[in-house]
Amino acid sequence: MSIVDTRPARKKRSRHTMWLVTVPLLIAVVVAFAVVYQSVWTTQKMLVVKAPPLALTPIATSVEPVGGGGTGGGIDAAWLQNTSSATGISVRALEGYGKAQLLITAEAPGCKLGWNTLAGIGWIETGHGTTRGSVLLPDGRTSKLILGPALDGTKGTRAIKATDADTMATGDPDWDHAAGPMQFIGGTWARWGKDGNRDGLIDRNNIDDAAYSAAHYLCAGGRDLSTAEGWSKAVHSYNHSNKYVLAVNKRANLYAMGAS
């Protein structure tokens, strides 16, 4: 006995029908990817502040700072005391920022960097050399070694192997660390480190050297920090974060208002 299949014949889906389904799906995927990419690109785009902080200038007794540390090297002692009281920045930290501004102004007058921008960075990085129980000593050095986390590629850090010089500076034989009151990493310090107090040493744990080196770094490439774009690019180069740029801007403006 033969069995007859009474089920209706299955219709074959035509290529035309398949394209009608596939093409819109592909378009939707591409559009979604474009939206995500645009969102990421917009997030990563450098923020330009509306206006740079006012570039304040300390009252100087001489452009060239006196070596060996000590309050007032190149800057009026009364200005240091009054500005310290108004801003909450220690006299020794303020001296380092002020001397750095005087020196960079003499060397690169077109940069127009104010001590308060350096102070804004110094506050965010290490509280002017006071994080981890440290204080600034009379010679400008931190009383304790201030290290950032190991740059081993974890927790959002870059992986940077320690050089012999890095190991001598941080004690870590494997990975580099940001160090000192302005938190320079080893490779950046090797390129930009300067002798800010003219004592013959280039020490990133010394506020005079670190602030002066930061001034050179910020003013690199002929930047004009009196413009919103120039200031933003300078601070963004120090830390590639829009939140960081905003935080430094806010702090530098607070110092400007307090000291004016």
Alpha carbons 212 and 214: distance in angstroms, whole number: 5
Alpha carbons 220 and 230: distance in angstroms, whole number: 11
For residue range 35-61, list pLDDT tens digits in order.
333 333 334 588 999 999 988 889 877
Residue 213 binned pLDDT confidence (cut-offs 50, 70, 90): very high
**141 phi and psi, to 5 degrees?**
-80, 155
For residue range 170-205, list pLDDT tens digits in order.
888 989 899 999 999 999 999 999 999 999 999 999
Which residue ranges make up each domain of the chain?
54-140+182-259, 146-179
Angle between helices 242-259 and 77-87 (to 10 degrees): 120
- Specify the long-range contacts of residues 239-246, CB closer than 8 Å, at least 24 apart: 242/46, 242/47, 244/124, 245/46, 245/47, 245/49, 246/47, 246/49
The predicted pLDDT at position 59 comes to 85
Read off the amino acid at residue 165: A
**227 phi and psi, to 5 degrees?**
-100, 150
Indicate left, alpha or beta for 10 from its phi (over 0: left) and psi (-120 to 50: alpha): beta
For residue range 233-251, list pLDDT tens digits in order.
999 999 999 999 999 999 9
This prediction has a pTM of: 0.79
The predicted pLDDT at position 63 comes to 54
